[in-house]
Amino acid sequence: MATPLLLRSSLLLHHRHHHHQFPLAKPYPFSPSPSSSSSPARKARFLSLSSIKMQGSEITEETVAGEAEAGASPKKKVFVAGATGSTGKKIVDQLLARGFAVKAGVRDLEKAKSAFSRDDPSLQIVKADVTEGSDKLAEAIGDDSEAVVCATGFRPGWDLFAPWKVDNFGTVNLVEACRKRGINRFILISSILVNGAAMGQILNPAYIFLNVFGLTLVAKLQAEQHIRKSGINYTIIRPGGLRNDPPSGNIVMEPEDTLYEGSISRDQVAQVAVEALIHPEASYKVVEIVARADAPKRPFEELFGSIKQR
Ligand SMILES: NC(=O)c1ccc[n+]([C@@H]2O[C@H](COP(=O)([O-])OP(=O)(O)OC[C@H]3O[C@@H](n4cnc5c(N)ncnc54)[C@H](OP(=O)(O)O)[C@@H]3O)[C@@H](O)[C@H]2O)c1
């Protein structure tokens, strides 16, 4: 979704203060380091993906660098949906920089080729339109990804139902694809104010503005609820208005339905998504984030640890 100017400009920082210290979430060890899952079977998976391409099936599979030839990657692989988006691309870049392998799910392979450097053996690009159903997505995700990050958002156009198709059904499809693949880690980039009606923010201009576009926030809330019921270990990240400029200020993290204004750099959102994969404190949580110049710099264990599981 393109950044709505109103959301960007109107989301001046405000948050309620919470000082709870909660017990740690269920442990979820997820580091990019080598694991026993890097097996010959995994190598075979790459080969089967190559054959999908050769048969010219509907799923187009492109290996950016010769990972199949190089043998199985020892890195943990993360599938990123919406990888050519403004936030998605930053998530891909940061995952690679942190030592993960990435399978970038994109709608447009040509766009992806110019967006990403071709010489990173840890990056693979696959075609994945989230509106095309969970079976196709499961095929695109393959059986070598251990977590999925969803950074999709509808692109404004003539289709009034696009937000519903992408931000609700599309995300639900991704969750179902994870179920089919037995993937038990899901990170969703959602938005503050998704539950604005319940927060008494129904007259908040950003809430009205975004819902005028095909009930975008309601669509996202529906998808969130699906994830929360799925049993999959989730972290739902709800950022304030997204900025393209470099990180400024420190990250403020609050529980769900708390923040209703404020903004944050997409770099910082990507950082939170990657850190969520690394820190078990992020498991089964909904976090709202903005950045604020006068906020203290806190380690991610502490930020995630301060949010209660519900
Ligand atoms: N903008 C804000 O201020 C704001 C605030 C809070 C939360 N958010 C949310 O944060 C997320 C990221 O926002 P952003 O502005 O960085 O995103 P963005 O640049 O608009 O990127 C959206 C991504 O979704 C992809 N996409 C759209 N329809 C798809 C489909 N049917 N199948 C697969 N992928 C599809 C797009 O693919 P293409 O690259 O091929 O177009 C693109 O990669 C979104 O969910 C957004 O709603 C935004």
Residues belonging to the chain: 310
pLDDT digits over 270-279, tens only? 999 999 999 9
Q: Is residue 173 part of a domain?
A: yes
Give the pLDDT confidence of 21-65 residue by residue, as tens digits: 222 333 345 667 654 443 333 333 332 333 223 222 233 334 444
Is residue 35 assigned to a domain?
Answer: yes
What's the confidence (pLDDT) of residue 65? 40
Instruction: For residue 108, give the ligand 1 atom closest to its CA.
Output: 40
What is each CA distance from 113 to 62, 63, 210, 277, in whole angstroms? 10, 11, 31, 26
Instruction: Examine residue 310 and state whether it is found in any structural domain, yes or no.
Output: no
User: Which atom of ligand 1 has the smallest separation from the CA of 83?
Assistant: 43
12 exposure class (CB count in 10 Å sphere: 0-12, 13-18, 19+): exposed
Residue 89 belongs to a domain: yes
- Here the CATH number for the domain that contains residue 87 is 3.40.50.720
Q: Is the CB of 72 under 6 A from ligand 1?
A: no
Residue nearest to atom 43 of ligand 1 (CA): 85
Task: Please work out whether the CB of residue 131 comes within 6 Å of at least one atom of ligand 1.
Answer: yes
Q: From the alpha carbon of 239, which atom of ligand 1 is closest?
A: 6
Domain assignment present for 44: yes
254 and 192 in contact (C-beta within 8 Å)?
no
pTM of the model: 0.83
Average pLDDT of span 52-80: 52
Give the C-alpha separation, 303 to 197, whole Å: 26
| 8 Å CB contact between 304 and 279 | yes
- Nearest CA owner, ligand 1 atom 6: 191
Is pLDDT above 70 for 17? Answer: no
Residue 162 lies in a domain: yes
| 216 neighbors 166 (Cβ within 8 angstroms) | no
Rg (C-alpha) for the chain, rounded Å, is 19
Question: Which residue's alpha carbon is at the smallest distance from atom 21 of ligand 1?
Answer: 85
Mean of pLDDT values over 201-225: 92
How many domains, in total, are found in the chain?
Answer: 1
Structural domain including 242 reads: 5-305
Residue 250 forms part of a structural domain: yes
Q: What distance in angstroms lies between residue 86's CA and the mean position of ligand 1's atoms?
A: 7
For ligand 1, the distance from its centroid to the CA atom of residue 266, given in whole angstroms, is 12
Ligand 1 mutation pick, 87, 134, 148, 188, max ligand atoms within 8 A of CB: 87
Q: How much distance in Å is there from the Cα of 189 to the middle of ligand 1? A: 9
Quickly count: other Cβ atoms within 10 Å of residue 255's Cβ.
18
Does residue 66 or residue 275 have the better pLDDT? 275
